[in-house]
Amino acid sequence: MSDPILVTGAAGFIGFHTALRLLESGQKVVGIDNLNDYYDVTIKEARLKLLQAYPEFTFVKIDIAETENMKVMWAKYGPFAKVVHLAAQAGVRYSLQNPYAYISSNVLGHLNILECCRFTEGFQHLVYASSSSVYGGNEKLPFSVQDRVDSPISLYAATKRSDELMSHAYAHLYRFPQTGLRFFTVYGPWGRPDMALFIFTKAICEGEKLPVFNNGEMKRDFTYIDDIVSGVLAVLENPPEDNGKDAPQRVLNIGNTKSEDLMDFVRLIEKELGKSADIDFKPMQAGDVQETYADVHETTEVAGYKPTTSIYEGVPKFIEWYKEYYKVS
Ligand SMILES: NC(=O)c1ccc[n+]([C@@H]2O[C@H](COP(=O)([O-])OP(=O)(O)OC[C@H]3O[C@@H](n4cnc5c(N)ncnc54)[C@H](O)[C@@H]3O)[C@@H](O)[C@H]2O)c1
């Protein structure tokens, strides 16, 4: 049996699916999460319950921003040679309301992970979540990791860009391999209640008004969760090499490489639910971007990443899960 892999944010949407895939392949996993109430905690607990059915899974409730507790956890359950770091305060809009949560979890929390990795002998690879939101208001499409990302338009994006910069400094100074993954709008079963697909499905099911921002004139590169997990784990097995010169780190995009019209997405949900949406068009929200679209060719080169799930396959899978989980007929 190989050493355990640490998955941070294991009760979260992407962390849960990543831990599950690792456990299904027979890998030992230590999952950590502070189970905060940014969204419904019962869904985090339900995800955890599924993970806890595996004897190779250990859960530790901890806040990654607590430096001393993190060191104690690392010594007790580790040391870890491979880390998938997904714990963060997510959400663009909430960063306008509670900015301190982002500095605590995303900046101090990221530093604590870097410090733990730094002092681990034989450390192999830190893969951490960045976000497509670092591209801010960039107009050149598709977004490429070669593009400049110096103009974040939300604090959330600024903290994710900070993570990339901190990781670069640590890889340069302490020579441990790291990869930051810029995820593009992830969706699928067990998805986040604060994200569009969940909000739209709930509103249509409950016959409530469905808020659509920027009068629906938005485009998103929607990435199905199974493609994300395949990408994360393929990247994890392919750490950047240290050529003795450049910092052994890189940043990669993980998207579906298609920019979908938000209104097509809404129509697809309506079709799947067999119900019409009562749409409430609203202006653009502060901090939001109008379009995202990923260029993933570096990710394909590095790890063979190739997304295979279209929204026409993925959305029905989410809706099937939603109806079963919430007992909607
Ligand atoms: N879902 C997306 O579309 C998307 C897009 C871009 C980037 N990301 C990033 O991917 C990662 C995973 O996102 P997700 O969608 O699974 O979000 P999520 O909110 O479902 O998962 C994050 C988990 O981290 C935990 N957490 C937050 N702060 C913590 C702290 N201080 N200590 C310990 N645990 C903490 C939360 O309780 C949660 O369970 C995040 O870093 C997010 O910023 C997600």
C-alpha 244 to ligand 1 mean position (Å): 33
CA distance 49 to 308: 29
Q: Check: CB of residue 42 under 8 Å from CB of residue 121.
A: no
pLDDT reported for residue 254: 98
Domains and CATH numbers, the chain: 5-187+224-257+292-308 (3.40.50.720)
Tokens representing 207 are: 């016959």
The residues annotated with a catalytic role in the active site are 156
Task: Determine the average pLDDT of the residues in 99-104.
Answer: 98
Question: What residues flank ligand 1, with Cβ below 6 Å?
Answer: 9, 11-15, 33-36, 44, 63-65, 86-90, 105, 109, 129, 131, 183, 185-186, 192
Backbone angles phi, psi at 130, to 5 degrees: -105, -150
- pLDDT, one tens digit per residue, over 242-274 is 999 999 999 999 999 999 999 999 999 999 999
CA distance 225 to 307: 10
Choice among 98-102, 270-274, 282-286 with the minimum mean pLDDT: 282-286
Angle at which helices 225-236 and 13-24 cross, to 10°: 60
Angle at which helices 41-51 and 13-24 cross, to 10°: 10
pLDDT reported for residue 329: 80
Give yes or no for residue 12 having a pLDDT over 60.
Answer: yes
Tokens representing 233 are: 């784990």
CA distance 222 to 195: 11
How many Cβ atoms are within 10 Å of 156's Cβ, its own excluded?
Answer: 26
CA distance 112 to 252: 22
Choice among 1-15, 71-85, 115-129 with the minimum mean pLDDT: 1-15
CA distance 180 to 239: 11
- pLDDT, one tens digit per residue, over 149-171 is 999 999 999 999 999 999 999 99
Instruction: Report the percentage of the chain scoring pLDDT > 70.
Output: 100
